[in-house]
Chains A and B, each alone.
Chain A
Amino acid sequence: NAGVMQNPRHLVRRRGQEARLRCSPMKGHSHVYWYRQLPEEGLKFMVYLQKENIIDESGMPKERFSAEFPKEGPSILRIQQVVRGDSAAYFCASSPGTGYSGEQYFGPGTRLTVT
Chain B
Amino acid sequence: QKEVEQNSGPLSVPEGAIASLNCTYSDRGSQSFFWYRQYSGKSPELIMSIYSNGDKEDGRFTAQLNKASQYVSLLIRDSQPSDSATYLCAVSPSRQLTFGSGTQLTVLP
Decide if A103 touches B43 in the complex (CB within 8 Å): no
Contact of B32 among A42, A44, A101, A107 (CB under 8 A): A101
How extensive is the interface on chain B, given as a class? 20 to 34
Given A103-B49, A105-B46, also A55-B95 (CB < 8 A): yes
Per the bound structure, the CA–CA distance linking A100 and B64 in Å amounts to 21
Chain A residues positioned under 8 Å from B51 (CB to CB):
101-102
Contact of A91 among B34, B44, B95, B96 (CB under 8 A): B44
Decide if B95 touches A48 in the complex (CB within 8 Å): yes
Chain B residues positioned under 8 Å from A41 (CB to CB):
101
Chain A count of residues within 8 A CB distance of the other chain: 25
Decide if A109 touches B95 in the complex (CB within 8 Å): no
A62-115 residues with Cβ-Cβ distance < 8 A to B are 91, 93, 100-109
Q: Which residue of B lies closest to A43 (CB)?
A: B99
Decide if B88 touches A59 in the complex (CB within 8 Å): no
Decide if A101 touches B44 in the complex (CB within 8 Å): no
Decide if A106 touches B44 in the complex (CB within 8 Å): yes
Chain A residues positioned under 8 Å from B31 (CB to CB):
102
Per the bound structure, the CA–CA distance linking A91 and B90 in Å amounts to 15
Per the bound structure, the CA–CA distance linking A38 and B45 in Å amounts to 18
Per the bound structure, the CA–CA distance linking A8 and B37 in Å amounts to 23
Chain B residues positioned under 8 Å from A93 (CB to CB):
97
Chain B residues positioned under 8 Å from A59 (CB to CB):
96
Q: Which of A45, A102, A107, A109 has the most CB of B within 10 A?
A: A102
Q: Can you list 19 contacts pairing A with B, beta carbon distance less than 8 Å? A: A31-B95, A33-B95, A41-B101, A42-B100, A43-B88, A43-B97, A44-B99, A45-B98, A48-B96, A56-B95, A58-B96, A91-B43, A100-B95, A102-B32, A102-B92, A104-B97, A106-B45, A106-B46, A109-B43
Which A residues have a C-beta under 8 Å from some C-beta of B? 31, 33, 35, 41-45, 48, 55-56, 58-59, 91, 93, 100-109
